[in-house]
Amino acid sequence: MVLSYRVQHEARLTEHSDYMRVLIISDIHANVTAFETVLRDAKGQWDYVWCLGDVVGYGPDPNECVTMLRELPHLCLAGNHDWAVLDRLDIRTFNPDARRAVDWTRESLTDENLQWLEALPVTFVIGDYTLAHASPREPILEYILETKTAADNFPHFETPYCVVGHTHQPMIYELFGSFGDVSMNRPVYGQPRTLNGRRQIINPGSVGQPRDADPRAAYSILDFEHNIWEHRRIPYDVAAVQRRMRQHRMPDRLVARLELGM
């Protein structure tokens, strides 16, 4: 299943080999308000979408988010929440609130959207970029939150750059010097940056549930041909999402964390 999807996507990517600008999104987490706001903000500025997974889980709009993404020219990877909904992960490792959200999401998704999730690949290599939801070493589960884990991951991909989500925190890890030292920097938003050829692991942050104490939706735009990367943040109507979550009786903590960005 995964293989056939990959072949199908490679064919599609070849058709789109002239695409130059990529909208990079991750961790939408069933938040269609944040997703729509990102699409509006980036309108006309990209030719193709890379989505790094966790399209569903936590939020109130799993079908709306999957359907909207499917209508865009895109490549999407599987995340841990996508797999949890498909019963491919033992959700005893999830906290109780996340588990409730997984159960609710599973019951809510249409068969068609579940099948789409089932076919998502776990990694993808395109040009200078290796893509994974979590890390190149453990594509579904590992959190890269500090330099040690980032350093351990550089030997696990061959391209100059690796793009991951999963932590919900925009970040740039860069390999420098000859001893495998790694720097860790928060991005400057709205400032295009030419990737300098030094190996990097780059996280665009989360569209639908940021966790860096900034509730604004995060996404990136990449000029694929010239390797120019721009991190962005954009406010969206958090209260509207929270109202829908309360209507679905989703856990209070999940409702509250959206406005905290935690």
Q: Which is nearer to Zn ion, 121 or 165 (CB)?
A: 165
Q: Which residue reads 């980036």 in tokens?
A: 42
Nearest distance from residue 30's CB to Zn ion, in Å? 11
238-247 vs 252-260: helix crossing angle, rounded to 10: 180
Total count of residues recorded for the chain: 262
Contacts of residue 201, Cβ cutoff 8 Å, sequence gap at least 6? 135, 136, 144, 150, 153, 154, 161, 162, 163, 164, 172, 173
Site of tokens 């890390």: 135
Smallest gap from Cβ 79 to Zn ion, in A, equals: 6
Q: Which one, 228 or 262, has the nearer CB to Zn ion?
A: 262
Report the residue number, 39 or 84, with the smaller CB distance to Zn ion: 84
- Least distance from C-beta 142 to Zn ion, angstroms? 13
Does residue 142 belong to the site contacting Zn ion (CB under 5 A)? Answer: no
Residues 219 to 248 in contact with Zn ion, rule: CB under 5 A: none
Which residue is at the shortest CB distance from Zn ion?
Answer: 54
Q: How far is the CB of 167 from Zn ion (least distance, A)?
A: 8
Query: Which residues in the 10-29 window bind Zn ion by CB under 5 A?
Result: 27
| Closest approach of Zn ion to the CB of residue 80, in Å | 7
Residue type, 229: W
Amino acid at 98: A
Subset of residues 38 to 57 that bind Zn ion, contact rule: CB under 5 A: 54
Which residue lies nearer to Zn ion by CB, 121 or 205?
205
The tokens for 141 are 């589960």
Using the minimum distance from each CB to Zn ion, give the nearer residue, 54 or 61.
Answer: 54
Among residues 51 and 182, whose Cβ is nearest to Zn ion? 51
- Least distance in Å: CB of 96 to Zn ion? 17
Give the interface with Zn ion as residue ranges (CB under 5 A): 27, 54
